[in-house]
Amino acid sequence: MKKSSAHSRTKSAQRITHSGPRRLPIFSLDVGYGYTKIMDPSGAQHIFPSLVAPGDIGSIDLGIASAACPSVFLDGVEYIVGEHAATRDFRFVEQYDSWWTSVRFQAIIQYASKFIAPKAHVMTGLPLHIYSAVKAHQQIRDVLRRGLHAEEITILPQGVGAYCAAVAQDPQLNEGRVGLIDIGTRTTELVCFSDGQFLAKSSAGLIIGVGEVFAQVANRLAQQHNRPVDAYEVDWAFRGIRPLRIKGEVIPENIIANLIQPCIKPLTERLFNEITYLWGDGAPNVDRLVFCGGGVPIVEPYLGAYRPSYQVLKDGQFANTMGYLQYARWQEAQHRHHEAASPEPTEASANDSRAAETEGAPIVGTPA
């Protein structure tokens, strides 16, 4: 939101009658390469795979499907969103830094609008390694304004949101030096804080994620059984969400696990090498080491190999969405505190306050 123009500043000498800016409902949105997570103001959580496939133009609906197939329309074209897209003959598989310019991302946002009210304040994030790109912020804002009709948008670095959630769960994490490792499908964020202050030079974003493990196993199964296997099918089978069937037979979970295990160790070794490069062997300067993200359950048996003392954040897959909401609550608390301590605000000061909350890249610890 742009700051007030000279004309509006002249006009704003008049006192406003309300105590501050209108409070908007706040929703948090974490569009991951693997899964999209949403939390509403009540704390209700929503999650669906970040999968999109074109709708079948010539398909016939017999009306006997066990569940409706979620879909959205973009420029009059239908797209299937969520787990049903995994079994289509073709689905979009973009995994690149600026994928929010793709049809896949736009379809995901359109589907997310089912859970996010219009005219809301949407909190979201960008991977740390591209967070400083101004163009990325503008592109994300444009997509969210069109797809969600959002009135305000705040963008935080992914991983920083997770840290906010960690501090809300354990306030002692706001003291000393804390290293947080957010492991996702394609990316992993290494963020470091000292007494609640973000340390940019001790933080990094990596192109490492557990999605490559599932992709490797899917390729091996496809070669063995001469049928396409989607990486999500392996993911769901491993987590016990949905069985993987080949020729009508369920592939036992122990076979899936045996195929996955050899792929995990090389992944964690690469990850530990990156952490060591940034924080040193065993992170000797880090007081508390925290792991979170949807990829943690897959690699958790190996985490102690880097450092015996660490903790895993509860409900880690929703860490960023929980943290985005927590950050918004802290900002609102600060705003109310400033309102109570300041004279009656003018229209200009209210506009400037709202602009400061939504523009730029605010990165702070917990409020005093």
pTM (2 d.p.): 0.82
Tens of pLDDT along 82-114? 988 887 878 888 767 778 889 999 999 999 999
Percent of the chain, pLDDT > 70?
A: 83
- In this prediction, residue 367 has a pLDDT band, given cuts at 50, 70 and 90, of very low
Q: What is the pLDDT of residue 267?
A: 96
Q: Which of 25, 49, 38 is nearest to 115 (CA)?
A: 38
Whether residue 302 has pLDDT greater than 70: yes
Strand partners, 361: none
Q: What is the pLDDT of residue 343?
A: 63
Whether residue 63 has pLDDT greater than 70: no
Tokens describing residue 77: 């074209």
Whether residue 191 has pLDDT greater than 90: yes
Tens of pLDDT along 21-59? 568 999 999 999 999 999 999 999 999 999 999 987 555
Q: What is the pLDDT of residue 320?
A: 96
Q: What is the pLDDT of residue 2?
A: 40
Whether residue 366 has pLDDT greater than 70: no
Give CA–CA dist 44/133, Å, rounded. Answer: 31
Phi, psi of 28 (to 5 degrees): -110, 140
Q: What is the pLDDT of residue 335?
A: 78
Give the neighbor-by-neighbor strand order of the sheet with 26-31.
Answer: 45-49, 35-39, 26-31, 121-126, 152-157
The H-or-E segment that residue 142 falls in is: helix 134-148
Percent of the chain, pLDDT > 90?
A: 66
Q: Which of 88, 80, 155 is nearest to 111 (CA)?
A: 80
Tokens describing residue 261: 């295990």
Chain position carrying tokens 């979620």: 70
CB-facing half-sphere around the CA of 109: CA atoms within 13 A: 24
Phi, psi of 307 (to 5 degrees): -160, 130
- Look over the chain and give the mean of its residue pLDDT values, rounded to a whole number: 84
Tens of pLDDT along 251-289? 998 999 999 999 999 999 999 999 999 999 999 999 999
Highest CATH level, class, for 22-55+66-167+319-358: alpha beta
Tens of pLDDT along 151-181? 999 999 999 999 999 999 999 999 999 999 9
- In this prediction, residue 344 has a pLDDT band, given cuts at 50, 70 and 90, of low
Q: Which of 164, 198, 119 is nearest to 324 (CA)?
A: 164
Tokens describing residue 354: 């709202």
Q: What is the pLDDT of residue 365?
A: 36
Q: Which of 209, 201, 363 is nearest to 278 (CA)?
A: 201
Give CA–CA dist 235/218, Å, rounded. Answer: 9
